[in-house]
Amino acid sequence: MYGRLDEAIESFLDWGRVTTSSISSRVKNLLGTVDCGDGEIAKEQVLGTHAAILARPVAPTNAGHFEVMFVRLGEERRPIASHEPRWQVDVEEGEVVVRAFGENASRIRLKPNGDVVIEAGGNILLGSGTAAEALALATKVHEELDKIRNAITTAAVGGAPDAGATFKTNIIANLTSPTGIRGEVGSERVKADD
Protein backbone atom coordinates (compact mmCIF):
# COMPACT_ATOMS: atom_id res chain seq x y z
CA MET A 1 0.00 0.00 0.00
CA TYR A 2 2.73 2.47 0.96
CA GLY A 3 4.44 1.85 -2.37
CA ARG A 4 1.42 3.15 -4.29
CA LEU A 5 0.96 6.08 -1.89
CA ASP A 6 4.62 7.06 -2.22
CA GLU A 7 4.33 6.78 -5.98
CA ALA A 8 1.22 8.99 -6.03
CA ILE A 9 2.88 11.61 -3.82
CA GLU A 10 6.05 11.57 -5.94
CA SER A 11 3.97 12.17 -9.07
CA PHE A 12 2.16 15.04 -7.34
CA LEU A 13 5.05 16.82 -5.51
CA ASP A 14 8.61 17.38 -6.70
CA TRP A 15 11.59 19.75 -6.51
CA GLY A 16 12.75 21.85 -9.44
CA ARG A 17 15.50 24.35 -10.23
CA VAL A 18 14.61 27.95 -11.01
CA THR A 19 16.70 28.85 -14.04
CA THR A 20 15.41 32.39 -14.70
CA SER A 21 13.10 34.84 -12.96
CA SER A 22 11.18 37.97 -13.90
CA ILE A 23 8.45 40.27 -12.65
CA SER A 24 5.21 40.25 -14.63
CA SER A 25 4.42 43.66 -16.07
CA ARG A 26 0.70 43.80 -15.29
CA VAL A 27 0.21 42.18 -11.87
CA LYS A 28 3.83 42.34 -10.63
CA ASN A 29 3.94 38.62 -9.86
CA LEU A 30 7.32 36.97 -9.40
CA LEU A 31 7.63 34.51 -12.27
CA GLY A 32 10.17 31.76 -12.77
CA THR A 33 11.18 29.19 -15.31
CA VAL A 34 11.40 25.89 -13.45
CA ASP A 35 13.47 22.94 -14.64
CA CYS A 36 11.26 20.13 -13.32
CA GLY A 37 13.72 17.40 -14.30
CA ASP A 38 13.49 14.74 -17.04
CA GLY A 39 13.61 17.53 -19.65
CA GLU A 40 10.37 19.14 -18.44
CA ILE A 41 10.54 22.96 -18.34
CA ALA A 42 7.68 24.99 -16.85
CA LYS A 43 7.80 28.62 -17.97
CA GLU A 44 6.30 31.71 -16.26
CA GLN A 45 5.33 29.90 -13.09
CA VAL A 46 4.27 32.13 -10.21
CA LEU A 47 6.89 31.46 -7.53
CA GLY A 48 5.22 30.85 -4.19
CA THR A 49 6.41 33.34 -1.59
CA HIS A 50 4.86 34.80 1.51
CA ALA A 51 2.25 37.46 0.71
CA ALA A 52 4.25 40.18 2.50
CA ILE A 53 7.70 39.18 1.18
CA LEU A 54 8.83 39.24 -2.43
CA ALA A 55 12.21 37.58 -2.98
CA ARG A 56 13.57 37.37 -6.51
CA PRO A 57 16.17 34.60 -6.80
CA VAL A 58 19.66 34.99 -8.17
CA ALA A 59 20.50 33.09 -11.37
CA PRO A 60 22.07 29.64 -10.93
CA THR A 61 25.83 29.53 -10.37
CA ASN A 62 28.40 26.79 -9.83
CA ALA A 63 27.69 27.20 -6.10
CA GLY A 64 24.03 26.20 -6.49
CA HIS A 65 20.59 27.34 -7.49
CA PHE A 66 17.27 28.48 -6.08
CA GLU A 67 14.91 25.52 -5.74
CA VAL A 68 11.15 25.26 -5.50
CA MET A 69 8.88 22.44 -4.45
CA PHE A 70 6.00 22.32 -6.87
CA VAL A 71 2.65 20.61 -7.19
CA ARG A 72 1.55 19.15 -10.51
CA LEU A 73 -1.95 20.37 -11.37
CA GLY A 74 -2.64 19.00 -14.83
CA GLU A 75 -0.29 20.90 -17.15
CA GLU A 76 0.46 23.53 -14.53
CA ARG A 77 3.41 23.34 -12.12
CA ARG A 78 2.54 25.40 -9.03
CA PRO A 79 5.55 26.22 -6.76
CA ILE A 80 4.49 26.00 -3.10
CA ALA A 81 7.78 26.24 -1.21
CA SER A 82 11.33 27.37 -1.89
CA HIS A 83 14.87 26.75 -0.73
CA GLU A 84 18.14 28.59 -1.42
CA PRO A 85 21.19 26.51 -0.37
CA ARG A 86 23.67 29.31 -1.14
CA TRP A 87 24.48 32.03 1.43
CA GLN A 88 22.87 30.36 4.44
CA VAL A 89 23.30 32.06 7.83
CA ASP A 90 23.29 30.82 11.40
CA VAL A 91 19.98 31.31 13.18
CA GLU A 92 19.68 31.14 16.95
CA GLU A 93 16.76 29.46 18.68
CA GLY A 94 13.74 31.78 18.59
CA GLU A 95 15.39 34.17 16.11
CA VAL A 96 13.98 35.23 12.74
CA VAL A 97 16.40 36.31 10.01
CA VAL A 98 15.38 38.15 6.85
CA ARG A 99 18.22 38.20 4.36
CA ALA A 100 18.90 39.08 0.76
CA PHE A 101 20.62 36.76 -1.70
CA GLY A 102 24.34 37.23 -2.27
CA GLU A 103 27.76 36.90 -0.68
CA ASN A 104 27.71 40.28 1.12
CA ALA A 105 23.94 40.61 1.42
CA SER A 106 22.30 42.49 4.27
CA ARG A 107 20.39 40.75 7.05
CA ILE A 108 17.84 41.79 9.65
CA ARG A 109 17.81 39.68 12.79
CA LEU A 110 14.69 39.78 14.98
CA LYS A 111 15.84 38.52 18.38
CA PRO A 112 13.49 36.77 20.82
CA ASN A 113 14.41 39.36 23.50
CA GLY A 114 13.00 42.18 21.32
CA ASP A 115 16.28 43.44 19.83
CA VAL A 116 16.52 44.12 16.09
CA VAL A 117 20.00 43.76 14.58
CA ILE A 118 20.70 45.10 11.09
CA GLU A 119 23.82 43.65 9.45
CA ALA A 120 24.70 45.54 6.29
CA GLY A 121 27.62 45.27 3.91
CA GLY A 122 26.72 48.71 2.55
CA ASN A 123 24.77 51.75 3.68
CA ILE A 124 21.71 51.61 5.92
CA LEU A 125 19.14 53.98 4.43
CA LEU A 126 16.13 54.96 6.54
CA GLY A 127 13.02 56.41 4.93
CA SER A 128 13.90 55.86 1.27
CA GLY A 129 16.59 54.65 -1.11
CA THR A 130 17.79 58.24 -1.55
CA ALA A 131 18.24 59.07 2.14
CA ALA A 132 21.32 61.28 2.53
CA GLU A 133 21.28 62.89 5.98
CA ALA A 134 23.86 61.28 8.25
CA LEU A 135 22.57 60.34 11.68
CA ALA A 136 24.55 61.90 14.53
CA LEU A 137 26.62 59.46 16.54
CA ALA A 138 26.74 60.03 20.29
CA THR A 139 30.51 59.54 20.57
CA LYS A 140 31.22 62.10 17.83
CA VAL A 141 28.77 64.61 19.33
CA HIS A 142 30.47 64.22 22.73
CA GLU A 143 33.89 64.81 21.11
CA GLU A 144 32.60 68.05 19.56
CA LEU A 145 31.05 69.20 22.85
CA ASP A 146 34.38 68.49 24.60
CA LYS A 147 36.14 70.73 22.03
CA ILE A 148 33.66 73.53 22.75
CA ARG A 149 34.10 73.10 26.51
CA ASN A 150 37.90 73.20 26.11
CA ALA A 151 37.71 76.28 23.86
CA ILE A 152 35.62 78.10 26.46
CA THR A 153 37.89 77.00 29.30
CA THR A 154 41.13 77.95 27.56
CA ALA A 155 39.97 81.04 25.63
CA ALA A 156 42.16 84.07 26.31
CA VAL A 157 39.98 86.50 28.21
CA GLY A 158 42.42 89.39 28.36
CA GLY A 159 42.58 91.80 31.26
CA ALA A 160 41.19 94.98 29.78
CA PRO A 161 37.72 96.33 29.04
CA ASP A 162 37.53 94.27 25.83
CA ALA A 163 37.79 90.95 27.72
CA GLY A 164 34.31 89.88 26.60
CA ALA A 165 35.00 90.83 22.98
CA THR A 166 38.24 88.81 22.92
CA PHE A 167 36.50 85.85 24.53
CA LYS A 168 33.68 86.05 21.98
CA THR A 169 36.11 86.34 19.05
CA ASN A 170 38.08 83.28 20.19
CA ILE A 171 34.96 81.15 20.67
CA ILE A 172 33.48 82.13 17.30
CA ALA A 173 36.82 81.43 15.58
CA ASN A 174 36.97 77.96 17.13
CA LEU A 175 33.34 77.18 16.33
CA THR A 176 33.56 78.24 12.67
CA SER A 177 37.06 77.09 11.72
CA PRO A 178 37.05 74.14 9.28
CA THR A 179 39.85 72.60 11.35
CA GLY A 180 38.34 73.68 14.67
CA ILE A 181 35.33 72.40 16.51
CA ARG A 182 32.85 71.92 13.66
CA GLY A 183 33.69 68.29 12.98
CA GLU A 184 31.57 65.65 11.29
CA VAL A 185 29.34 63.97 13.86
CA GLY A 186 27.29 61.87 11.44
CA SER A 187 27.55 58.21 10.63
CA GLU A 188 29.30 57.31 7.41
CA ARG A 189 26.95 54.36 6.76
CA VAL A 190 23.57 55.18 8.34
CA LYS A 191 21.55 57.80 6.46
CA ALA A 192 17.97 58.99 6.94
CA ASP A 193 15.44 61.15 5.17
CA ASP A 194 15.18 64.69 6.53
Ranges for all domains in the chain classified under CATH 2.40.50: 2-83
| CATH no. for 2-83 | 2.40.50
pLDDT given for residue 9 in this prediction: 63
SS3 letters for 104-164?
A: CCCEEEECCCCCEEEECCCCEEECCCCCCEEEECHHHHHHHHHHHHHHHHHCCCCCCCCHH
The confidence score (pLDDT) of residue 115 equals 92
Question: Which has the closest alpha carbon to 174: 131, 194, 144?
Answer: 144
Task: Give me the pLDDT at residue 7, please.
Answer: 64
Give pLDDT tens digits along the chain (194 positions). Answer: 556 666 666 667 888 889 999 988 877 788 889 998 878 888 888 886 677 777 888 889 898 888 988 888 877 788 888 888 888 888 999 999 998 888 888 999 999 999 999 998 888 888 898 988 888 888 888 887 787 777 776 665 555 566 677 777 777 776 665 555 556 777 877 877 76
The per-residue pLDDT for 180 is 56
Torsion over CA: 158, 164, 165, 171 (sign): positive
CA-angle at 181, arms to 176 and 184, nearest 5°: 100
How is the chain split among helix, strand and coil, in percent rounded to 5?
Answer: 20, 35, 45
pTM, whole model, 2 decimals? 0.65
Question: What is the separation of C-alpha 4 from the centre of its chain, rounded to a whole number of angstroms?
Answer: 46
